[in-house]
Structure 1
């Protein structure tokens, strides 16, 4: 997060705050598309009881820090991304109870179990290191590039290690203990968030980098909050393997984002190679039109 803060500028942060068009679009997509997607998928796959509640909790969560990582990898607008994540996390203090109350009518006390302390902690873990990175970029810009490179390398190494540890620790257990419908929802739900976030931002005529940013902010959920609510709301014996749902959801979220990043980088490189290089300006290039004009005029003084 410090390295991401090093990519931000105070002037651009102020611009996103004073003209919050992109932030507003992302918040509407985050708290409008994802809860409705979770509700629709739970009905489409005919989930009942705790399985439906677990999916809805994932859908009602705000965007996490992983959306900032994905935005950086997709060359999105980092200033907009951090402001979006901050706003969605702050609004989660009120939106999560409201959405859980609306969508989980069969569990009347569930909206009272929102982990407010963990939401505030998530907010602090975003703002404090990003603030440090912003100060480094503002007062010591020559060190910002070093921090960014070290942070990205460390992040990539940590993600690879975490994924490997998950597979080593869990193996194929989650394939056998989780319901096939839940596995399908974990695959479909993030992609729906990415797609609708991009489409909505396209309709509101945001630029390309902002579209990618809104798409990542919409599809990436804070799975730590999902796991915290499930842990507080229900005893382990009652939940059983459903405790693994946020972890599996996050794993597919990372996998699909990685595929999108690879496709985007390949497209960017292919499109860059297809562009015709600009012809350098020389004296011959400048004088060529004049020479042709003089050739058409055999009489009279020629243009120099």
Structure 2
């Protein structure tokens, strides 16, 4: 069966569960945000503006080009565009830390990017999808409810931020102890949902798994490269380049999966791209962070300064 005709089956209860899990993940990010993160934006406006532009302009544009060049099925192409328009996930801060990157800059960009996504994401998906005839046709088939998507993104991102930031400011001691557990529970629950949902819908998707694996592998690698080289182009320091790399390369694909199931009836290609991205970008990010750490250690042992790593 063509992947554009495959529709994944999830119960209404499963969709509610996914939205709650996504809200918990965003809450974990919000609990880590401090007013000082926004002051970092004022101190390093070039880096933050570059990071936002790379995420919401450059990456979607490159993604459309990749989809057209590879001539992937329309549902996979639309899934790639949706992922590219998602805000960064909280894992980007962890990966930046492991890679010896600028964690303060990463946290600032994560906070700002997620808030920007509330307004920008629905518009961005509609705009970039309209540039390709195949994805534009799919968008017409599903008659995307931009207002509904805006409300859902607002509930999943805006409400956790509105709750989490005041709690972190009012009860710092308790929140510092609870935050790691909130973040771990959210991530594990999302991975469990992805694995269970994929397993229960594997039959009609089995013949397309190889294509989805290769497309996500290439797309994720290019997203990481877009982040690094766009930061290098404006001459940010190495630690900032690594932060921007993971802000652009680590997307909140759980949000993309939730939007796919809600507004695109669980379209197979879209859902599988978002689901596999959610797993692969963590693995790829950990591998890249480990490579950078080893490279830094070798340079330190040799008495060399840390230079551009790619």
Would you say same fold, with TM above 0.5?
Answer: yes
Q: Which has the higher contact order (CA 8 A, sep 6+)?
A: 2
Query: Is residue 176 of structure 1 aligned with residue 206 of structure 2?
Result: yes
1:113 Cα deviation from its structure 2 partner = 6.0
Determine helix, strand or coil for the equivalent of 1:90.
helix
Find the aligned partners of 1:270 and 1:156 in 2 and give their Cα distance.
32
Asked if the contact 1:62/1:222 (under 8 Å) is kept, the reply is yes
Query: Is residue 222 of structure 1 aligned with residue 255 of structure 2?
Result: no
- TM-score if structure 1 supplies the norm length? 0.71
Asked if the contact 2:88/2:248 (under 8 Å) is kept, the reply is yes
Residues 9 and 90 of structure 1: CA distance in aligned 2, closer, same or farther (over 3 Å):
closer
Find the aligned partners of 1:246 and 1:110 in 2 and give their Cα distance.
18
Asked if the contact 2:228/2:245 (under 8 Å) is kept, the reply is yes
Structure 1, unaligned runs of 5 or more: 277-304
Given candidates 191, 196, 199, the residue that maps to 2:229 is 199
Query: Is residue 262 of structure 1 aligned with residue 290 of structure 2?
Result: yes
Number of residue-to-residue matches in the alignment: 267
1:259 Cα deviation from its structure 2 partner = 0.3
| Equivalences for residues 239-254 of structure 1 within 5 A | 239-240=267-268, 242-254=270-282
Find the aligned partners of 1:156 and 1:240 in 2 and give their Cα distance.
28
- Residue of structure 1 equivalent to 2:153: 119
1:213 Cα deviation from its structure 2 partner = 0.8
Given candidates 209, 225, 236, the residue that maps to 2:239 is 209
Given candidates 62, 75, 78, the residue that maps to 2:103 is 78
RMSD (Å) for aligned C-alpha atoms: 3.7
- Residue of structure 2 equivalent to 1:271: 299
Determine helix, strand or coil for the equivalent of 1:115.
helix
Residues 5 and 179 of structure 1: CA distance in aligned 2, closer, same or farther (over 3 Å):
closer
Query: Is residue 27 of structure 1 aligned with residue 61 of structure 2?
Result: no
Asked if the contact 1:101/1:111 (under 8 Å) is kept, the reply is no
Given candidates 111, 114, 131, the residue that maps to 1:89 is 114
Structure 2, unaligned runs of 5 or more: 1-25, 131-135, 305-310
1:249 Cα deviation from its structure 2 partner = 1.1
Find the aligned partners of 2:169 and 2:105 in 1 and give their Cα distance.
14
- Residue of structure 2 equivalent to 1:98: 123
